[in-house]
Amino acid sequence: MTKENNHIYETKYATFCEPPNEMALKSGEKLGPITLAYETYGELNKDRSNAVMIYHALTGDAHVAGYHQGDKKPGWWDIMVGPGKAFDTNKYFIICSNVLGGCKGTTGPSSINPETGKPYGLSFPFVTIEDMVAAQKLLMDHLGIKKLLCGAGGSMGGMQALRWSLDYPDHIHSVISIATNTRHSAQQIAFHEVARQAIMADPDWQNGEYYGKSVPARGLAISRMIGHITFMSEKSMEEKFGRKLVGKNRLGYDFSGDFEVENYLKYRGDSFVHRFDANSYLYLSKALDYFDIAEDGKLTDAFKKARSSFLIISFSSDWLYPSHQSKELVRALKANDIDVSDIEISNSYGHDAFLVEVEGLSDIITHFLKKSQKSMSHE
């Protein structure tokens, strides 16, 4: 257990948008009531100016750090969140919520539809990054926080941070966006579509009506296997696995699995089935594909309303969200005379680099938050 962050945390819940005051979604549909699962770390100061909201990636959740009772592993970003860490809980009040459409306590496809008494399944309306952010704003209001010191996240989390700066420009002081982009490319959409088709081709999916029955385990596992290939780089896979064999000295000439990389992907896929809902994977991956900051217009124009300072971090080995996409974002910010720091970190970890302790990442974030806190105090 991490000595610096061995506190036992509990997930909290807040419910909003009770009928007839449902949330109007970007799709035109309405949703309510909405329950958000969230966790907080550290203490909110007297003037409520030290709040930092962390946004999770596609398959993450609200448990960003520390331990739940009985946990063997800490939260998904424990290396970055805690006393003395980059997101120092001795200085900042950290908030992390499970996104709308998720399956870890926040309202999503597996939640009970109050009108039917059964899980929503595919009757759940489509949600977007904008909708996720709107729900997070309701949580911020619930906590009595008028302005975030910072919003931070990697991958889909970075998209939420960017959306916050545009939808609520007067309620967020700074943004940390890591390994993300402003819209999905055709290649990125293609990877997601193959993953979705794997789920929907599983006979146990049953058009999304599998709750209380057999879950589409094989389809969901294959989806996760596809995802993990994109999360790593060619170099990191070669360094970790190469052509190493599993428990044998020579090729078996069968389909049982000869190579360690095959075994790794199967393990990742099978373990994912036990912690994630297949329908949530469909909905959240689609939300990523719908995301487009510029809405097919000019990216420069989209950021005219932004008021935050920005830290944009990319990784040289990330081929899923390559650095050149972050550079496009930086150019759009600079064209609007927005304060932006652009950092590209060289490593071989690939897209998932933000989840590991890569050299320099903690120091970069620590310095940026310190600078942000100082500038916010002068407002």
Same domain, residue pair 301 and 163 = yes
Single-letter amino acid code for the residue at 344: E
pLDDT tens, position by position, 181-230: 999 999 999 999 999 999 999 999 999 999 999 999 999 999 999 999 99
Mean pLDDT of 36-55: 98
Same domain, residue pair 54 and 125 = yes
Q: Does the CA dihedral 269-270-275-281 come out positive or negative?
A: positive
Active site residues: 155, 318, 351
pLDDT tens, position by position, 6-17: 678 999 999 999
Among 74-78, 137-141, 292-296, the range scoring the smallest mean pLDDT is: 292-296
Quote the pLDDT of residue 7.
79
Mean pLDDT of 124-129: 98
Same domain, residue pair 15 and 132 = yes
Quote the pLDDT of residue 378.
80
Considering the chain, what percentage of its residues have pLDDT values greater than 90? Answer: 94
Integer Cα distance of 107 and 28 in angstroms: 18
For the whole model, what pTM was predicted? Answer: 0.96
Single-letter amino acid code for the residue at 310: F
Rounded to the nearest 10 degrees, how much is the dihedral formed by the CA atoms of 106, 110, 111, 117? 180
Domain boundary residue, one of 255, 286, 317: 286
Same domain, residue pair 278 and 296 = no
Domain boundary residue, one of 286, 308, 327: 286
Same domain, residue pair 329 and 208 = no
Closest CA to 152 of 343, 312, 334: 312
Question: For the domain that residue 277 is a member of, what is the CATH number?
Answer: 1.10.1740.110
Q: Does the CA dihedral 152-156-160-162 come out positive or negative?
A: positive
In terms of Cβ atoms closer than 10 Å to its own Cβ (0-12, 13-18, 19+), residue 264 is middle
Same domain, residue pair 222 and 160 = no
Q: 6 or 157, which is more confident?
A: 157
Same domain, residue pair 172 and 34 = yes
Quote the pLDDT of residue 4.
47
| Residues 183, 292 contacting (CB under 8 angstroms) | yes
pLDDT at 344 over 70: yes
Residue whose entry in the numeric block shows the structure tokens 């052509």: 243
Instruction: Copy the structure tokens of residue 285.
Output: 């991956």
Domain ranges, residue 34: 3-183+291-377
Quote the pLDDT of residue 19.
95
Closest CA to 16 of 91, 113, 106, 84: 106
Closest CA to 5 of 68, 97, 98: 68
- Kindly report whether the peptide bond that precedes residue 74 is cis, defined as omega within 30 degrees of 0: no
Mean pLDDT of 121-146: 98
Same domain, residue pair 76 and 201 = no
Question: For the domain that residue 136 is a member of, what is the CATH number?
Answer: 3.40.50.1820
pLDDT band with cut points at 50, 70 and 90 for residue 2? very low
Same domain, residue pair 199 and 114 = no
